[in-house]
Chains A and B, each alone.
Chain A
Amino acid sequence: MKKLLSEFTKGIVKENPTFVLMLGLCPTLAVSVTVINGIGMGIAATFVLLSANIIISLLKNIIPARVRIPCFIVVIATFVTIVEMAMKAYSPALNRALGIYVPLIVVNCIVLGRAEAFAQKASVGRAILDGLGMGLGFTLALILICAIREFLGAGTLMNYSLIKGFEPARVFGMPSGALLVIGLLVGLFNVLKNRKG
């Protein structure tokens, strides 16, 4: 039981996809301008991650090893298409804000990475826990980066202005600010990890 639980919790801190595995940085850098974007991206990626993990884990004995990557991509692309169509139907504004990065979840290296490194070797139950944990870790990391960037770069949080008269530092809304924030957070993660271990 404890081992099963750790499949879930490892994605949040110990093997956090963004800060430790350093996967999926492209959408992280691109969409982490506002917290709303981050939550939307995180949920979308979590759904794809979970569903793809389940299907791939179920099909692991059928998929021939030599063509496994194309097979994974087909499975992942199916779920990304579902996410994209659902997002267009129910939340067109978010879809516009995330733009090309929704279809690009297909090539998000977290999803393919978990399929290749975990789901194709694991039971369905463990694949579900892994998908949920990784998705949650990715979402939390995104929200953290988004919150810092939105507050410093636009002076708001969830589109609410917090401090009156605060002159936002525009660089944090730009790509250079994203690299800066992620770099500092990765450094902080390493410091905390080394202190513990």
Chain B
Amino acid sequence: MPPKDEIKDNRLTVSFSPHLHKDESVSRIMWMVVLSLVPAGIAGVAIFGLNSLWVILLGIISALVTEAALQVATKRKVSISDGSAFLTGLLLAYNLPPDVPFWLPIAGSVFAIAIGKQIFGGLGQNIFNPALVGRAFLMACWPKLMTTFSGPFDAITQATPLAALKEGKLIEHISYLDLFLGKHGGCIGEVSILALLLGALFLFIRGYISWHIPFTFIFTTGLITFIFGGTQPLGAGAGFGGDWLFHILSGGLILGAFFMATDYVTSPLTRKGQIIFGIGCGALTAVIRIWGGYPEGVSYAILMMNAATPIIDRYTKTRVYGA
């Protein structure tokens, strides 16, 4: 029999920890990231036309179908409602040029989910960001389709600003504002910096991502391109004249830094590790852009640092107090 005058005062109730409960789950976070990417998709479709909408939808649908099919085939619980496959398909499509043939996003999504994720055991087990695995696969298989970009508002083929820079002919009329708004050739989801920053701001405010990876990533790329990215070689008395703002605003840097490098599964756990991860991504991106064979290096930089994540985690483990 409980006593008649029960303790009403909450402060005197003793219960097990954890005491604070927040209504968060993996799938909720995934859907929030999807939501934060919607503006960039709308901007991409507005800039490049309806074809890019089909590319995005095909990427998402084939990612979901592949995930469900593999989970049924291996007799596991079908978990396509957790949003992670949806997000992978979405991010993969954002990394494609807008006028690719329709089988390309399908092939990319199937590879991303099957090889990039399910082979390793599904969500939480994958070493590499699945969407970037898909992109790297497509780049290795069909490099021509992956590097033919149509310009904004018309279907005329146009080099991306970074590709033009690599070939030594800067697009004269492109301004920082054009880069910021996305009025230039590029992948569907990467061009509009404004829309991407809106989504990133939402994630920051909700606390889903922290500053550690994106800011060190972007800062390092900016710094190295500023020091070494000038038109004259360092030894010739020049240097320190690189157009860092151009490098930050063009290519997939913003999309990669805020939405793909911050993937929980494939990035380090500790703050210190995340800073190392971000600096590594930034340095590799700048190195590939300035000295590498490809005009753009964000995706390969993130993949390489994904591979380094376990070792970063090992060396940045927090010490147990008193040990």
Our verdict on whether A and B bind, yes or no, reads yes
A residues engaging B (CB < 8 A)?
167-172, 174, 176, 180, 184, 187
Distance in Å from the Cβ of B137 to the closest Cβ of chain A? Answer: 6
A184: which B residues are within 8 A, CB to CB? Answer: 119
Closest chain A residue to B74, Cβ basis:
A191
Chain B interface main SS type: helix
Indicate whether B141 reaches chain A with its CB closer than 8 angstroms. Answer: yes
Indicate whether B20 reaches chain A with its CB closer than 8 angstroms. Answer: no
Distance in Å from the Cβ of A161 to the closest Cβ of chain B? Answer: 18
Number of chain B residues close to chain A: CB under 8 A: 9
Best-buried of A169, A172, A174, A180 by chain B (most CB within 10 Å): A169
Distance in Å from the Cβ of B303 to the closest Cβ of chain A? Answer: 13
B119: which A residues are within 8 A, CB to CB? Answer: 184, 187
Report whether B142 and A167 are in contact in the complex, using a CB–CB cutoff of 8 Å. yes
Q: Mark B105-118, 1 if CB is under 8 A from A, else 0.
A: 00100000001000
Chain A interface main SS type: helix
B142: which A residues are within 8 A, CB to CB? Answer: 167, 169-170
A180: which B residues are within 8 A, CB to CB? Answer: 115
Best-buried of B141, B142, B145 by chain A (most CB within 10 Å): B141
Report whether B140 and A176 are in contact in the complex, using a CB–CB cutoff of 8 Å. yes
Distance in Å from the Cβ of A142 to the closest Cβ of chain B? Answer: 23
Report whether A171 and B115 are in contact in the complex, using a CB–CB cutoff of 8 Å. no
Q: List 7 A-B contacts (CB under 8 A).
A: A168-B141, A169-B107, A170-B142, A171-B140, A172-B141, A180-B115, A187-B119
For the A-B complex with A172-B141, A176-B140, A187-B119 known, give 17 more contacts whose Cβ atoms are closer than 8 Å.
A167-B142, A167-B145, A168-B141, A169-B107, A169-B137, A169-B141, A169-B142, A170-B140, A170-B141, A170-B142, A170-B143, A171-B137, A171-B140, A171-B141, A174-B140, A180-B115, A184-B119
B residues engaging A (CB < 8 A)?
107, 115, 119, 137, 140-143, 145
Distance in Å from the Cβ of A106 to the closest Cβ of chain B? Answer: 33
B140: which A residues are within 8 A, CB to CB? Answer: 170-171, 174, 176
Closest chain B residue to A172, Cβ basis:
B141
A174: which B residues are within 8 A, CB to CB? Answer: 140
Cα(A172)–Cα(B119), bound, Å: 18
Cα(A176)–Cα(B111), bound, Å: 14
A167: which B residues are within 8 A, CB to CB? Answer: 142, 145
A168: which B residues are within 8 A, CB to CB? Answer: 141
Cα(A167)–Cα(B137), bound, Å: 14
Cα(A158)–Cα(B219), bound, Å: 52
Cα(A167)–Cα(B115), bound, Å: 20
Cα(A180)–Cα(B133), bound, Å: 13
Cα(A168)–Cα(B144), bound, Å: 12
Cα(A168)–Cα(B115), bound, Å: 18
Distance in Å from the Cβ of A63 to the closest Cβ of chain B? Answer: 45
A187: which B residues are within 8 A, CB to CB? Answer: 119
Cα(A178)–Cα(B17), bound, Å: 51
Distance in Å from the Cβ of A150 to the closest Cβ of chain B? Answer: 15
Closest chain B residue to A153, Cβ basis:
B141
Cα(A171)–Cα(B137), bound, Å: 7
Cα(A4)–Cα(B97), bound, Å: 60
In the complex, the 5 A-B pairs of residues with the closest C-beta atoms, listed nearest first: A169-B141, A171-B140, A171-B141, A170-B141, A167-B142
Distance in Å from the Cβ of B101 to the closest Cβ of chain A? Answer: 8
Cα(A169)–Cα(B140), bound, Å: 8
A169: which B residues are within 8 A, CB to CB? Answer: 107, 137, 141-142
B143: which A residues are within 8 A, CB to CB? Answer: 170
Cα(A171)–Cα(B134), bound, Å: 12
Distance in Å from the Cβ of B256 to the closest Cβ of chain A? Answer: 22
Cα(A184)–Cα(B111), bound, Å: 13
